[in-house]
Amino acid sequence: MREYRVIVFDDPEIVMALSGLRRKQGRPIPPGHVVKLEILQTPELGAALHIETDDGRKVVEKFDTREVAAGFVATLIERNVPMQATAPKTVSLIEGRWLALLVHPAEKKGSRRN
């Protein structure tokens, strides 16, 4: 038996995680406000922030699966949420609507897989 940890993010948390990631990367999203969060499913799971900039432009910032996972992990670290550092982590879509970080159980040395 294996137990997976599933951490579901709501829309404002996703926007915060993704904009925070870009800020940390030194590539902040343009000043303005996010008018739409889009969950992308093709060719891989990801997200897009539709932004109306302060000067009236419409900009779309896309994030692939790895960027979404990195943003989620960084947000959880900032909030002091305990998480096994060596455990594999993936992003999943729950019920067709919610993005979630799945924390897979780390393999224990000497354990058998059935």
As a whole number, mean pLDDT of residues 44-64 equals: 96
Q: How confident is the model at residue 97 (pLDDT cuts 50, 70, 90)?
A: confident
Does the predicted model carry a pTM greater than 0.85?
A: yes
Mean per-residue pLDDT, 84-109: 88
| Cβ atoms 22, 59 nearer than 8 A | no
Q: In the chain, how long is the greatest CA-to-CA distance?
A: 59
Helices (H) and strands (E) in the chain — how many of each?
A: 2, 6
pLDDT at 110: 57
